[in-house]
Each structure stands twice: as structure tokens, then as C-alpha cells.
Structure 1
Amino acid sequence: MKSLELVKQWLEAHPSWAIFIKYIVLVLLVIGFIQFLRRFIRKNLPNSKVKYRSQKGIEVIGYLVLIILTLSYFTGNIKDFTLAIGLLSAGVAITLQELILSIAGSLYIFFVKVYKPGDRIEINGIKGDVIDIDSIYTTMMEIGEWVSSDNYSGRIIKLSNAFVFKGPIYNYSMDFPFIWDEFNLPIRYGSDIELAKDIIIKVATENLSEYVTNSIAKWKDVVDRYYIEDAKVEPTLAITMTDNWIQFNLRYIVDYKKRRVTKHILSELISKKFEETNGQVVLASSTVEIIRIPTININEKDITQRDNDIS
């Protein structure tokens, strides 16, 4: 009892500290309640997607509650919000600029749905799959760098949410989870061009039919939603004559996560089909081929004369 009296007397003698301590207690109560709600949702919601969104929603609401609590507590009147916000902005605009932008970025990502966990994006020159979004950072599993194509590098990257305001964001999967890809096939001159065309288109059509079917409906939604012209999603082939070979360019649509494996399958199947033509269709290469060694005529009389001149 005596210790409580001493604490009470100290608080009465230091009113500013009393106000601060009460504020800290309220903040801790709010944070504790938010953590309780997040744990409750994590344990009781079976759907992982709904669970994740609910937890992030509670986190955002918690930040708003803390901001309102802080302003109302120290101003003493909710009508003074405008003045309080102005004073607060002037005091922390420089020192907490990145933090404020990150929090604003998280709200922007959450409400505008710029991207979400599971999306493949490229932002600030970094490409990867989004695995988490919190109030400050976006966490990504990196793709590329020292590995080729769309393989994971193994590095997990935390990127400030402020970058959503600083440059373009490339989303591979938001409205249209397909991308166009292509590769070139060099065919030797003298090959059966029509047969080569039939083989390439047939292999591409048979192996990409599922992607084509699924992408048609998705592309229709994109055309209806945005100001964009219709596009051809079936495999297409373009032929170019070069100095060394006839170049076949195969362009096709594929799931954004299966670009590498699809290119491997198409290349392997087309190569096998070419081999089955018994030389009618041959892949070209940039190796040098010597057709004929030129004949050199040597006159023995000229050699003898030259040797005498040297002597």
C-alpha cells in the first residue's frame, strides 16, 4: 500500500509522465487485442486465403485505431484532428518519410489490389513471386539473377512498400495469368519448308491446346475491362530468310509459371519430329562447312629457276 501511495504521489507531481504512461498502457491493450484476434483467426479459419486476408485486414484496422487514439488522446478533442495532423506531418515528414510511404504503400496495395500473395511481379528491377505483404515490406522469392529463365534463385527479398509509388509494377498474373513466349528454329536451305511448317504448328497446337482454351476466356475479360484490342492466342509461325538459314519463329501463349518447361517440351518434340523426316527437314547451325579443297598447280620449271636464282 505504501508503494502504491508513493507511485500515486509521484504521478501527481509529474502529470506529463502520468499522461504518457496511460497512453502506453492503452497502446499495449490495443496491440494485445489485435494479436489476440489474429491468433483466433489463424486457429479457426480453415481457408488459408481468407485467413491471410483477415489477418492483414485486422492489422490495417489496428494501425488506424492507434493513429486515432494517439491524436484524440494528445489533442483532447477529436475536432482538433486537422490541426494535430498538420503539426504531426510537419514534425515527422522528413525523418519518417520512408516509413510513412511504406505504410501508405501497404494501404494502397491492400485496397487497390496492385498485387497479392501468389502473384509474380517485377518491381524496382527485381522479379519474383510475392509470398507476403505486411505493413512495411513486401516479401518476394527472387527469380533470375545468376540462374536462367524463370527459376528461383533461392534468395528471399524484403522490399519497401514505398516502391509502389516510385516506378512501374509488372504483374504477370493479376488479370491475365498467361504470357506470350517465342523461340527461333534455324532450318537449313534445301529442307522441305512446308513439311517443317506442318510439324512445328502441329506439335505446338497439340501441346498448347489447354493454354489456348483457358486463355481465350481470360483474354475476353481483359478486352471487356480495358481499352485494348483483341489478340490471337493460337500458336503462330513467322519465316525469315537469312544469309545462313531459314529462320522459323514460333510464337505461342503459355502459363506464366510454366514458360521454361513448355519451351523445353516443344523444342524436344520438334527436334524428334525433324529427325523422323530422314533428312527432309534439317536444323542448321553456324559451323563452317568446307565443300571442296581448291586445286593448286605447281610448275616444276618455275621452282628450279627460283632455286638457281637464290643460289
Structure 2
Amino acid sequence: MASHFSWKRPELAIDFGTANLRVIGRDEGIILDEPSICCFADIDTAPSLYAAGIEAQAMVDRTPGKLQIRRPLGRGVLQDIDAATHLLRYAVRKARGRKHFRTPHAMIGVPADATQAERGALMTAAHDAGLGPVRLVAEPFAAAIGADLPISAPNGTMIVECGAGTTEVAVLSLGGICLTRSVRVGGATLDKAIADHLHFKHKFLAGELTSERIKLGYGEQRRAEAVKDETIQVKGRSLTTGLPAALALPLTELDQVAEKHFQQIVDAVREVLSDTPPELSQDIHERGIVLTGGSATTPLLSAMIKADTGLAVTVADEPARCVARGLHRMLLD
């Protein structure tokens, strides 16, 4: 009976994010970590998967007319069921190899405030991709477990899960989520904000991957103890001349872009704190706020939250992998 019960338990967990998809095995931990992106061919007749993951990422902004780049998720929400199905099928097959033939049971992370329609769409994509029964897990809950927070204790814990497409603020206690607030702001939307800034202020066109590199370079510069250069070199196309060009972008301008962008997250944190019951508020005052997710490493975000709330703010170890680690621990329970 015990072995039969074990077979019923989920064998895989999937952290399906706007930027990355991670497949986690019960025994192996993270066995695949690739961009959440697909490239389709024959888009005018019978679209078929041409590339996915890392291979498709290299094609962004470089595809000819017969190929089309598609992202299954936008701002944390499933927006393309067909692309999601193809990406899930690709990821599970690549992670498990051809030696596994049985339909795997799985857990998949979802935003805590995902609607029934959004959850249903994800379940449909998972089923069409060949997954067996699927259990959906709130991402802030998984992130808190992955960050080693004491969520089962009768104390309040606040977490800010900073994803690529959405950021979720949650208060947890006694093994559950007490309060949550989501804003459609994250690392990918910061990329777009940077591209828009270059477009409108400098009449300069930068591609999607270039905008991401600017964001990453900005984060590295601001985390450095001594800033070596107060600018970031950007290559793209001048909208004035129409020719390839380079631009020295001041870090102070990126500070302004990031501050305006992150203010929505700071406002969400304040809203959740204002709705938190007094006893849990006392716990949060003592313990502070923990940031997880890939965007958590941007120094300006933690500084803004600390300045606005007066609370201690810490960044979890390997914050981008907190959801995946939490899902893995749930597989082992």
C-alpha cells in the first residue's frame, strides 16, 4: 500500500515563470532551467515548434519572416495555451529523457491570485503536454519554503516574490497565506521600461535582449562597492539617423527609471501591511521582510521598501530559485 501511495505522489514540479521554466525532480532537484520562450515555423499555414528554451532565446529579434517568437506567459499570466503546451512538452521530455514512458504526476507554481480561468488554462496546457494529474501551488507559498522561512509557526512572515512578469506580496502564518497582493510589475517589465526610456528620451532603439543586458549591468554596477563607471555602454540603432549607434547611458537615468518602476511594488507592500492584523504586524516588525525572485537582487528595490516602511529588508539566498527549491521540498514531503 505504501508503494502504491508513493506512486500517486507528484514526481515532478514545474516553476513556470514569465522568464524561465524550471523542472524539478523529486530525487534530482532542478534538472532543467531554460527560458520560457518558443519559436514556431510555418506560421501562416500549420505552425509547428521550431525551437524552444535556450535555443529559441538566441533567436529573439533575429528571426526571418517565416519564424515567430512566442512567449507562453505575459506579466505572470498564461497568454498562449498552444505555446505553453509545446514548451511544457519540450521541457518535460528533455528533463526526463526517453527512458520514462509513464505519464508523470506534477506540481506547478501559479500566482496566488490567479483566476479560475487562468488556472484552468494552465491545467489544460499541462494535460495537453502529456502530464498526469496536476496540483497547483501558490508561488509565494513555495518561495517562502524555498527561502527557509518558518511559515508553519503561529507567527507572521512577509515575503515579496519578485518575478519577471509579476510581483506578489504575501503574509503567511500557520502554513497558509493570510494576505496577498499582486502587481503586474517585474524584471521583464523593467526591461520594457528601459527600452521605452531609450526610445523617447534618446531616440534610440534597443532590442529585447539588449534591454535585459542593460538591466543586469545596472544591477551589477549598483551592487558593486565602488562604481567603476557611471555609465553603461549601449549598442542599438539611432532613430534619428536610422544607423547602428552606441550610447553611454548614465546610471542616474536608470535609477530614475527603476525608481518609478519599483514604486508600484512599494505601494503594494504598504497596502498589505496596512491590512495585516495587529498580531501579525508585530511579528513582521520584528522579523522584517524577505525578498525572493530574480528581481530581488536589484539594490534599489530593497532600499526603497526599507525607506518607505522602516522595516528590515533581506534578500534570500539565490532568490531566483526560491520557488523551485520550495517546490522540491514539497515533493519530498
- Identify the TM-score tier after normalising by the shorter chain: under 0.3
More helix by share: 1
Q: Work out which of the two has the higher radius of gyration on C-alpha atoms and give 1 or 2.
A: 1
Provide the TM-score with structure 2 as the length reference.
Answer: 0.24
Higher relative contact order (CA closer than 8 Å, sequence separation 6+): 2
Q: Report the structure, 1 or 2, having the larger strand content.
A: 2
